Amino acid sequence: MKASQFFISTLKEAPAEAEIISHQLMMRAGLIKRIGSGIYSYMPIGLRSVRKVEQIVREEMNKAGAMELLMPAVQPAELWQESGRWEQYGPELLRLKDRHNRDFVVGPTHEEVITDLIRRDVKSYKQLPVNMYQIQTKFRDEIRPRFGVMRGREFIMKDAYSFDKDVDGMKASYDKMFNAYTAIFKRLGLNFRAVAADNGSIGGDGSHEFHVIAETGEDDIVYNPNSDYAANIEAAEAVALIAERAAPTQTLTKTHTPSKGKCEDVAEFLGVPLDKNVKSIVLAVDIENQEDDSATQIFLVLLRADHTLNEIKVSKLAGLSNYRMATEAEIATAFNTTPGYIGPVATAQKVTIIADKTVANMSDFICGANEVDYHHVGVNWGRDLPEPDLIADVRNVVAGDPAPDGNGTVGICRGIEVGHVFQLGTKYSEAMKATFLGENGKPQPFVMGCYGIGITRILGAAIEQNFDAKGILWPQSIAPFEVVICPVGADKSEVVREEADKLYHSLIQAGVDVIIDDRGERPGVMFADWELIGVPHRLTIGDRGLKEGLVEYQNRRDTEATKVPVLEIHAHVL
Ligand code: ATP
Ligand code: MG
Ligand code: MG
Ligand code: MG
Determine which residue's CA is closest to atom 3 belonging to ligand 1.
417
pLDDT tens digits, 354-405: 222 222 222 433 333 333 333 333 333 332 333 333 333 334 688 898 888 8
In which region does residue 468 sit, left (phi positive, over 0), alpha (psi from -120 to 50) or beta (all else)? beta
Q: Which atom of ligand 1 approaches the CA of 416 most closely? A: 3
Residues 6+ apart with CB under 8 A from 186: none
Distance, CA of 25 to CA of 559 (rounded, Å): 20
Residue 154 pLDDT grade (very low, low, confident, very high; cuts 50, 70, 90):
very high
Which residues touch 145 (CB under 8 Å, ≥6 apart)? 37, 38, 151, 152, 153
Ligand 1 nearest-atom number relative to CA 210 = 18
The answer, yes or no, to whether any atom of ligand 1 lies below 6 A from the CB of 151, is yes
C-alpha torsion 298→304→307→309, nearest 10: -40
CA 126 – ligand 1 centroid, Å? 34
3-state secondary structure of 196: strand
C-alpha of residue 14 to centroid of ligand 2, in Å: 26
Task: Please report the ipTM that was assigned to this predicted complex.
Answer: 0.99
How confident is the model over 270-289, as pLDDT tens digits? Answer: 444 444 433 333 344 444 33
Reduced to 3 states (helix: H, G, I; strand: E, B; else coil), residue 337 is coil
pLDDT at 299: 40
For ligand 3, an ion, list residues with CB under 5 A.
417
Q: Which is the closest atom of ligand 1 to the Cα of 109?
A: 10
Strand residue runs (E) in 87-153: 94-97, 103-106, 130-139
Residues 33-56 as b or e (16 or more Cβ within 10 Å = b): ebeeebebebbebbebbbbbbbeb
Q: What is the pLDDT of residue 234?
A: 80
Residue 172 has a pLDDT of: 97
Residue 260 has pLDDT above 80, yes or no: no
Instruction: Report the range of poorest mean pLDDT among 277-286, 331-340, 390-399, 456-465.
Output: 277-286
Q: Atom 18, ligand 1: which residue's CA is nearest?
A: 419
Cβ-based neighbours of 500, under 8 Å, separated by 6 or more:
485, 487, 490, 516, 518, 541
Alpha carbon 16 to chain centroid distance?
25
Closest Cα partner for 160 from 304, 43, 61, 63? 61
| For range 223-229, the mean pLDDT | 92
Phi, psi of 412, deg, nearest 5: -130, 130
Q: How far is the CA of 477 from the centre of ligand 2 (A)?
A: 27
How far away, in angstroms, is 214 Cα from ligand 4 center? 17
pLDDT at 410 over 50: yes
| pLDDT, average across residues 225-243 | 79
What is the full DSSP assignment across 387-429?
PHHHHHHT-S--TTSBPTTSSSB-EEEEEEEEEEEEEEETHHH
* Exposure of 547 in the CB half-sphere (CA atoms within 13 A): 3
Instruction: Give the Å distance between the CA of 194 and the centre of ligand 3.
Output: 13
Ligand 1 atom with the shortest distance to the CA of 418: 20
pLDDT at 573: 84
Q: Which of 366, 400, 333, 440 shows the shortest CA–CA distance to 88?
A: 333
Give pLDDT tens digits for 8-31: 999 999 999 999 999 999 999 999
The response to whether residue 418 sits with its C-beta less than 6 Å from ligand 1 reads: yes
Long-range contacts of 397-406 (CB under 8 A, 24+ apart): 397/222, 397/233, 397/236, 397/237, 397/240, 401/240, 403/224, 403/226, 403/227, 403/229, 404/229, 404/236, 404/239, 404/240, 404/243, 405/224, 405/227, 405/229
452 CB near ligand 1 (under 6 Å): yes
Cα–Cα distance measured from residue 171 to residue 413, given in angstroms and rounded to the nearest whole number: 29
pLDDT at 567 over 60: yes
DSSP 213-252: E-TT-SEEEEE-TTSS-EEEHHHHHHHHHHHHHHS--EEE
Indicate the DSSP class of residue 386: P
Query: Model confidence over 486-498: pLDDT tens digits?
Result: 999 999 999 999 9
Q: Inform me whether the pLDDT recorded for 319 exceeds 90.
A: no
Ligand 1 neighbour 460 (Cβ under 6 A)? no
> Minimum-distance ligand to the CA of 416?
1
Sequence-distant (≥ 6) Cβ neighbours of residue 28 within 8 angstroms: 10, 11, 12, 13, 14, 471, 532
Does 185 score more than 60 pLDDT? yes
| Cα-to-centroid distance, 421 and ligand 2 (Å) | 14
- Count of H helices and E strands in the chain? 17, 33
Q: What angle do CA 270, 275, 281 make, to 5 degrees?
A: 40
CA dist 136 and 455 (Å) reads 9
Ligand nearest to the CA of 92: 2
Angle subtended at Cα 435 by Cα 433 and Cα 441, rounded to the nearest 5 degrees: 140
Integer Cα distance of 545 and 539 in angstroms: 12
Q: Which of 210, 241, 207, 231 is nearest to 344 (CA)?
A: 241
Q: Picking from 231-245, 350-364, 526-540, which range would have the lowest pLDDT averaged per residue?
A: 350-364
Average pLDDT of every residue of the chain: 79
- Answer whether 89 contacts ligand 1 (Cβ < 6 A): no
Percent of the chain having pLDDT more than 90? 66
Ligand 1 neighbourhood includes 350 CB (under 6 angstroms): no
Nearest bound ligand to the CA of residue 150: 1
CA torsion 510-515-516-522 (nearest 10°) is -150
More confident position, 375 or 95:
95
CA distance 49 to 38: 19
Q: Which ligand is nearest to the CA of 157?
A: 1
Whether pTM exceeds 0.90? no
Task: Please tell me the least confidently modeled range out of 125-129, 239-243, 271-275.
Answer: 271-275
- In degrees and rounded to multiples of 5, residue 382 shows phi and psi of -55, -50
Q: Determine the length of the chain.
A: 574
Site to substitute for ligand 1 among 178, 416, 417, most atoms within 8 A of C-beta: 417
107 CB near ligand 1 (under 6 Å) = no
488-518 burial code (b ≥16 CB/10 A, e <16): bebeebeebbebbbebbeebeeeebbbbbbb
The rounded Å distance from CA 144 to ligand 1 centre is 13
